[in-house]
Chain A
């Protein structure tokens, strides 16, 4: 019986990675859900928009590094983030003007929007691969670890170590800041309220004198900010590879729908739900039970619900279960 060690074990392998991955998914899912709530379609180009924003951040990071500018202990990418956000906003607004506006004015059905977002997905995919290539890029610099597993062991004298990467802390802090600002904006400011009103009922919002063009513009700006931040945080924590970003779209969609599509708070929780179930269900609890079970009763198998190969499949399965039981998501969707 060794509760302290077992708790540290779970924290190290489930809670810390879960919070990090969950924050990244949550930021992405809020973006998808905002597009769905205001513009009323599922944007398949979102993963590639994230990749585009991250690519700009990487390019600026390289430029800064070549000039000898760094951010001290923090990664240089954080300095490059504003430029990335700015260019992503420009690209989103360009695609909105060039493509989506036409169909919005025609009041096309959601499927047409999905199809044109596929077209944009192909284009962005190509642009990212042509500019930066399809390979893995690691652009994390600065101080890597806040606490190493070995240091923790020496400090506390426990068997289990607790490693804390600086990217994990940066991810958490950035997510808290971004989400607080976003939810303050949506719930307390007049513009945010008008955005929610537009999402809730377009005609009534128009009658109340809300300018739809302004709302659409604002949505794309917020979405681009979220996409770039989520993409950069993911890239810092793991690495940047265009194909992974495309694949991440799927758990992000899962998080969005699980939380109730069109509901940012739901998307936030959905991101964490997906992240924790992916990590929690694929973790082998053998060691954990070794600590908490009385001696002689240690399990002989891995005690793993499903092998790590099926990590992505779990989020998809959760989504399908949610779609069957609560098609509107766990937190009722449709209104932001």
Chain B
């Protein structure tokens, strides 16, 4: 793996970008950029497994990210006992009802394979179950949502360590992907793109409006962390000693005792933030490397060869006796699970879950730009794409500011056009993304790091 030139390109670009930002802006910014780059790299690898390995076009990334985010809430937040006693039974009963509906649909599907009106029958059951479900769950939902509406108003979670939720998010996503895949995967590529986009819209609507589950638009803040808090660090003996040791040359230049103490205090405060981000970076880097390792293994295994064969010629693979439908479903679940994992990571890093922030442009199409720009079918390409695209996404606003200032330097400060342009600086990132995508698709259609053709 280390000998691979793609590996070197990928990680040297990442190091250089981080160091450049660290030197020219600040280490805090550099590390938070690095962390989001790493999370983006995981998302891009998830999409790459579906699109690059198997040729499945999944525009539902946003939905799976939101499910991963929901998992952090369901796992790490302490439960709300009042809400459980008020409406827990109602929710459990409606959950059982939902299960019954699902099972009856499955049984009908299995027992009546050739019945002419089977599909209409299933459709009828589902349509009927929605108002019934609302009737059963409605009173408990309104009870739960009325308890401490300003601070809780939801059932809460399981109060487990948040790292655990990353795996739960992945499993939840795989389950949802199973259902979505069963329904949509038979469709042609462009229909699949549209229907997955719409499914992710449905998922976001549910997460946004089922307040008893996720607090919806009221957001969940103050989630747990897998790393220490800044405040705890600032009060711990070893951390202060560490900062003192690292900055001993800087500190020894200051002679006055009081000045030295206040400088040390400042350094402790600023480096506690950096330290926390560094801890996150190490965890995320480990995740990226582990997923990369397994992904590369899988790509080079007989299974990976079969996936590429299915992607390149479905008919031929079918003729060779490969179960295309099953493999498609499996890889769709696998990729979605990785996306869900990344979604949980993202929410953990942000420390808050805001369902209304999930928008297709940022959470679906940007990830797709990463994969397409980096190189489809190449894991390193996906990681590189995650880095480069996120770097451009973050840095295009300062860059646009610079360009505008150069071109309008002859204009007056209060000039209308200049003011207007300066106000719209944040939107230049969309322009950069669009132009970048169009240029790459035209001149390097296989991405920056194209797929390696493995000759056996």
A residues contacting B by CB (< 8 A) are 41-42, 99, 102, 109-112, 114-116, 118-127, 129-131, 133-134, 243, 246, 250, 253-254, 257, 305-307, 309-310, 312-313, 315-317, 319-321, 323-325, 327
Measured in the bound complex, the distance between the Cα atoms of B191 and A327 in whole Å is 9
Distance between Cα atoms of A129 and B400 in the complex (Å): 14
The reply to whether A119 and B434 contact each other, CB–CB distance below 8 Å, is yes
Residues of chain A with a CB closer than 8 A to B317's CB:
none
Minimum Cβ distance to chain B for residue A199 (Å): 16
CA distance A313 to B210 in the complex (A): 13
Q: Which of B185-206 contact A (CB under 8 A)?
A: 187, 189-191, 193-195, 197-199, 201-202, 205-206
- Partner of B201 from the list A115, A257, A309, A313 (CB cut-off 8 Å) is A313
Query: A257: which B residues are within 8 A, CB to CB?
Result: 191, 194
Please tell me if the beta carbons of B441 and A112 are within 8 angstroms of each other in the complex.
yes
Can you identify 29 A-B contacts, CB atoms within 8 angstroms? A99-B438, A102-B442, A112-B445, A114-B57, A114-B190, A115-B368, A115-B372, A115-B441, A119-B434, A122-B433, A122-B437, A123-B430, A130-B428, A130-B431, A133-B424, A246-B360, A250-B198, A253-B197, A257-B194, A306-B130, A307-B209, A309-B208, A310-B205, A316-B198, A316-B199, A319-B198, A323-B183, A325-B123, A327-B191
B201 close to A125 (CB less than 8 A): no
A residues less than 8 Å from B187 (CB atoms):
323, 327
**Minimum CB–CB distance for B123 against chain A, Å:** 7
Q: Looking at chain A's contact residues, is the secondary structure mostly helix, strand, loop, or mixed?
A: helix
| Whole-angstrom CA separation of A37 from B353 in the bound complex | 42
B421 within 8 A of A: yes
- For the complex, give the distance between the alpha carbons of A120 and B433 in Å: 10
Kindly list chain A residues whose C-beta atoms are within 8 Å of the C-beta of B359.
243
Give the docked Cα–Cα distance between A306 and B202 (Å).
Answer: 13
**CB-nearest residue of chain B to A125:** B430
Contact B442 A323 (CB under 8 A): no
Give every chain A residue within 8 A of B424 (Cβ-Cβ).
129-131, 133
Q: How far is the CA of A310 from the CA of B198 in the complex (A)?
A: 13
Any A CB within 8 A of the CB of B241 = no
Q: How far is the CB of A3 from the nearest CB of chain B, in Å?
A: 25
Question: Cβ of B197 and Cβ of A250 under 8 Å apart?
Answer: yes
Asked if B130 and A305 sit within 8 Å, CB to CB, the answer is yes
- In the complex, which residues of chain B have a beta carbon less than 8 angstroms from the beta carbon of A121? 365, 434
B419-435 residues at the A interface, CB under 8 angstroms: 421, 423-424, 427-431, 433-435
- The answer for the CA separation of A250 and B196 in the assembled complex, in Å, is 11
The answer to the question of B134 belonging to the interface, with a C-beta cut-off of 8 Å to chain A, is yes
Contacts of B57 in A (CB 8 A): 111, 114
Asked if residues A320 and B195 are in contact (CB atoms below 8 Å), the reply is yes
User: Are B361 and A309 closer than 8 Å at their CB atoms?
Assistant: no
Known: A257-B191, A320-B183, A323-B187. A118 touches B365 (CB 8 A): yes
Chain B residues in the interface with A (C-beta under 8 A): 57, 119, 123, 130-131, 134, 183-184, 187, 189-191, 193-195, 197-199, 201-202, 205-206, 208-209, 359-361, 365, 368-369, 372, 421, 423-424, 427-431, 433-435, 437-438, 441-442, 445
Residues of A within 8 A of B183 (CB): 320, 323-324
**Hey, which chain B residues are within 8 Å of A315, CB to CB?**
198
A293 to chain B, nearest CB (A): 18
Q: Do A122 and B372 have beta carbons less than 8 Å apart? A: no
Known pairs A111-B193, A130-B424, A250-B197. 6 more at Cβ < 8 A? A129-B424, A246-B360, A309-B209, A310-B205, A317-B202, A327-B191
Determine if A118 and B368 form an interchain contact, defined as CB atoms under 8 angstroms apart.
yes
Which chain A positions have C-beta within 8 A of B134? 306
Give CA–CA (A114, B198) in the complex, Å. Answer: 16
Q: Which of B198, B202, B365 has the most CB of A within 10 A?
A: B198
Instruction: Across the interface, name the chain A residue whose C-beta is closest to B438.
Output: A119
Known contacts A119-B434, A130-B431, A320-B184; is-contact A254 B441 (Cβ 8 Å): no
Shortest CB distance B161–A (Å): 33
Q: Give the chain A neighbours of B441 by CB distance below 8 A.
A: 112, 115-116, 119
Are A246 and B361 interface neighbours, CB within 8 A?
yes
Output the least CB separation between A102 and chain B (Å): 7
- Residues from chain B with Cβ under 8 Å of A246 in the complex: 360-361
A327 to B187, CA, bound (A): 8
Distance A325 CA – B120 CA, assembled complex (angstroms): 9
Cα separation A317 to B201 with both chains bound (whole Å): 10
| B201-A250 in contact (CB<8A) | yes
Residue of B nearest to A106 (CB): B445
Distance in angstroms from B18 CB to nearest chain A CB is 26
Report the nearest B residue to A110, measured CB to CB: B190
Chain B residues with CB below 8 A from A320, complex form: 183-184, 195, 198-199
Sorted from nearest, which 3 A-B pairs have the closest CB atoms?
A: A122-B434, A123-B434, A126-B430
**Residue among A41, A115, A125 with most chain B CB within 10 A:** A115
Contacts of B198 in A (CB 8 A): 250, 253-254, 315-316, 319-320
List the A side residues contacting B438 at CB < 8 Å. 99, 116, 119-120, 123
Q: Contacts of A317 on B, CB cut-off 8 Å?
A: 202
In the complex formed, the residue of A with least CB distance to B180 is A320
Residues of B within 8 A of A310 (CB): 205, 209
Assembled-state Cα–Cα distance A253/B119 (Å): 24
The smallest C-beta distance from B442 to any residue of chain A, in angstroms, reads 7
User: Roughly how many angstroms separate A122 CA and B360 CA in the complex, as a whole number?
Assistant: 12
A198 to B401 CA separation, bound complex (whole angstroms): 47
In the complex, what residue of chain A is closest to B206 when comparing beta carbons?
A313
A118 vs B206: C-alpha distance when bound (angstroms): 26
